[in-house]
């Protein structure tokens, strides 16, 4: 996209944006807390800080409308192994970020997933314990308006007839030698299949932007973080007309998502920021998956059930293969017009952290002339072994649920972008510390799934929002 075209799109969309109160046309802005990105992470932090009376400025590269021109700012250049997926589709440059696309499927992780090295032989243990994370998960569920997926956390869950009654499912899993770490059920009851918060379309951005101490600034692209020793001094930005804008903050929090955040750090210095131990961008993980679709004549759902979909999930680790990562199985049932049911068994495979899988600085440039992200990504041996085992189980399970009529092709991405600014208790092993502060800096923080040191079996949004709220509480005290 040409620079002029990008700027025209930005200016036009700004003109029709009804609610943003711009903080003036001055070439520099200042706030106590400056947040980059208005997705779930950024808005959760802004909301909490504003409620604590803090002065917050949110800088967002997109606006109310997402346009192809704006999306090109998220283009990702293929790295040394090529790319099987167009990563510009994995995130949205828009107010509300990628929450406009997410599907609200975000169960809690099992404890063992966070104790990854000590209990599974994979990657590293998280520097935050399951006990420390748990209360924030509950708060994030409330804020995102997603219903806790495990019956122990949510007694109002619809009982799932399949998991309750299917001894075949149980014995199948047991025969395979798989260990259940969690088996639960939850319904997605909304007619749109969305039972969670979409920040822009549900008005959450408007609510937060109306808080007394918040200003949301759309069409403001953050191009570089400017450092002064250990302090992040300011952000070098381009406003909606492409003019330079300097934004200063006492505390700067990067919430640009799993690829744009490491990209911004790479573009902020010759060797990037936070790259003291060569981990910036490294350890990137996605969430490969396969769907098996089928149809059964005799329904499993009880007659008259109102829920259009009921999911069951089991997180499985094969104890015979130390180091083999987890599979999340997700069974969906939907009434068909012929009195039977459509079935789907989805498997999501955890990817292991690997230093060679990395977001790096690209050679191609965006409309403002800044390097795009380049992605080196391939499946490792542990990933392939986990996928083979998990898929075998998925196939057998799907055949128990109903004849499989249509398998989907293997997909390398589920848009769950983790690991590229990983959290570590030792600066030699990561980019941020357990408080999400970039190692070696005093006031630069990251809230994103990019801080996950392991990929996890479950999707990321609940956990990244929990971490964001924990960070905001830490900063507000």
Interface with ligand FAD (CB under 6 A): 36-42, 59-62, 90-91, 93-94, 97-99, 101-106, 221-222, 255-257, 260, 264, 415-416, 448-449, 459-461, 464
Question: Which helix (H) or strand (E) element contains residue 139?
Answer: helix 130-144
Residue 447: CB minimum distance to ligand FAD, A = 7
Residue 336: CB minimum distance to ligand FAD, A = 24
280, 260, 307, 253: which is closest to 472 by C-alpha?
Answer: 253
List of residues 6+ apart from 164 with CB closer than 8 A: none
Residue 115: CB minimum distance to ligand FAD, A = 21
| Residue placing its CB nearer to ligand FAD in the complex, 87 or 178 | 87
Residue 104: CB minimum distance to ligand FAD, A = 6
Note whether 314 and 329 are within 8 A (CB): yes
Note whether 350 and 327 are within 8 A (CB): yes
| Residue placing its CB nearer to ligand FAD in the complex, 98 or 166 | 98
Residue 468: CB minimum distance to ligand FAD, A = 8
- Three-class secondary structure of residue 266 per DSSP: helix
**CA 98 – CA 461 distance, rounded (Å):** 10
Residue 286: CB minimum distance to ligand FAD, A = 11
**Residue 72: strand pairing partners:** none
Instruction: Report DSSP state, residue 268.
Output: T
| Residue placing its CB nearer to ligand FAD in the complex, 173 or 436 | 436
| Residue placing its CB nearer to ligand FAD in the complex, 173 or 235 | 235
Buried b vs exposed e over 180-206: b needs ≥16 C-beta within 10 Å? ebbbbbbbbeeeeebbbbbbbebebbe
Residue 309: CB minimum distance to ligand FAD, A = 13
Note whether 396 and 318 are within 8 A (CB): no
Residue 177: CB minimum distance to ligand FAD, A = 29
Residue 421: CB minimum distance to ligand FAD, A = 11
| Residue placing its CB nearer to ligand FAD in the complex, 200 or 352 | 200
- Three-class secondary structure of residue 273 per DSSP: coil
Residue 255: CB minimum distance to ligand FAD, A = 5
| Residue placing its CB nearer to ligand FAD in the complex, 46 or 324 | 46
Q: DSSP letters of 366-386?
A: -TTSPEEEEEE----HHHHHH
For residue 16, the tally of other CB atoms under 10 A from its CB is: 9
| Residue placing its CB nearer to ligand FAD in the complex, 61 or 402 | 61
Note whether 443 and 84 are within 8 A (CB): no
Q: What is the CA radius of gyration of the chain?
A: 22
**Residue 417 vs residues 71, 358, 458, 460: alpha-carbon distances, Å:** 17, 11, 12, 8
Residue 102: CB minimum distance to ligand FAD, A = 3
- Three-class secondary structure of residue 148 per DSSP: coil
| Residue placing its CB nearer to ligand FAD in the complex, 188 or 352 | 188
| Residue placing its CB nearer to ligand FAD in the complex, 166 or 351 | 351
| Residue placing its CB nearer to ligand FAD in the complex, 223 or 358 | 223
| Residue placing its CB nearer to ligand FAD in the complex, 264 or 401 | 264
Residue 250: CB minimum distance to ligand FAD, A = 19
CA geometry: angle 332, 316, 298, nearest 5 deg: 30
Tell me the two tokens of residue 404: 């499989």
CB hemisphere CA count around 440 (13 angstroms): 13
List of residues 6+ apart from 127 with CB closer than 8 A: 423, 424, 425, 433, 434, 453
**CA 226 – CA 239 distance, rounded (Å):** 17
49, 143, 152: which is closest to 110 by C-alpha?
Answer: 152
| Residue placing its CB nearer to ligand FAD in the complex, 157 or 372 | 372
């Amino acid at each position: 996209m040409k620079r002029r075209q990008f700027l025209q799109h930005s200016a036009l969309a700004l003109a029709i944006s009804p609610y943003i109160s711009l903080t003036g046309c001055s070439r520099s802005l200042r706030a106590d807390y400056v947040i980059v990105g208005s997705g779930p992470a950024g808005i959760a932090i802004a909301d909490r800080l504003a409620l604590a009376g803090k002065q917050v400025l949110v800088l967002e590269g997109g606006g109310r409308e997402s346009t192809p021109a704006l999306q090109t700012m998220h283009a990702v250049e293929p790295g040394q192994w090529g790319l099987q997926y167009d990563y510009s589709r994995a995130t949205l440059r828009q107010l509300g970020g990628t929450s406009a696309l997410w599907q609200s499927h975000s169960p809690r992780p099992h404890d063992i997933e966070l104790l990854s090295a000590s209990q599974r032989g994979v990657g590293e243990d998280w520097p935050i314990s399951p006990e420390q994370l748990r209360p924030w998960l509950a708060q994030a569920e409330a804020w995102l308006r997603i219903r806790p997926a495990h019956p122990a956390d949510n007694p109002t869950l619809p009982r799932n007839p399949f998991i309750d009654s299917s001894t075949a499912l149980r014995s199948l899993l047991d025969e395979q030698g798989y260990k259940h770490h969690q088996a639960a059920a939850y319904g997605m009851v909304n007619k749109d299949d969305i039972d969670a918060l979409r920040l822009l379309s549900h008005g959450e951005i408007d609510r937060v932007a109306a808080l007394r101490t918040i200003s949301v600034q759309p069409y403001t692209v953050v191009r570089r973080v400017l450092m002064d020793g250990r302090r992040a001094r300011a952000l070098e930005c381009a406003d909606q007309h492409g003019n330079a804008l300097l934004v200063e903050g006492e505390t700067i929090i990067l919430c640009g998502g799993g690829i744009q955040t490491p990209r911004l750090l790479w573009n902020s210095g010759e060797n990037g920021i936070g790259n003291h131990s060569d981990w910036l961008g490294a350890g990137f993980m996605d969430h490969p998956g396969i769907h098996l679709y089928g149809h059964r004549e005799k329904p499993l759902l009880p007659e008259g059930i109102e829920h259009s979909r009921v999911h069951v999930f089991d997180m499985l680790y094969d104890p015979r293969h130390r180091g083999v990562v987890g599979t999340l199985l997700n069974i969906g049932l939907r009434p068909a017009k012929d009195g039977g049911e459509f079935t789907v068994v989805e498997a999501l495979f955890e990817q292991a952290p690997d230093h060679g899988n990395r977001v790096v600085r690209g050679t191609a440039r965006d409309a403002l002339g800044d390097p795009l992200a380049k992605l080196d990504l391939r499946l490792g041996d542990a990933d392939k072994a986990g996928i083979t085992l998990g898929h075998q189980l998925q196939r057998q399970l799907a055949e128990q649920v109903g004849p499989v009529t249509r398998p989907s092709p293997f997909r390398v991405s589920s848009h769950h972008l983790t690991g590229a600014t990983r959290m570590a208790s030792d600066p030699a092993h990561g980019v941020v510390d357990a408080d999400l502060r970039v190692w070696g800096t005093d006031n630069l923080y990251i809230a994103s799934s990019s801080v996950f040191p392991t990929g996890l079996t479950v999707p990321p949004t609940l956990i990244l929002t929990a971490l964001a709220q924990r960070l905001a509480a830490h900063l507000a005290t």
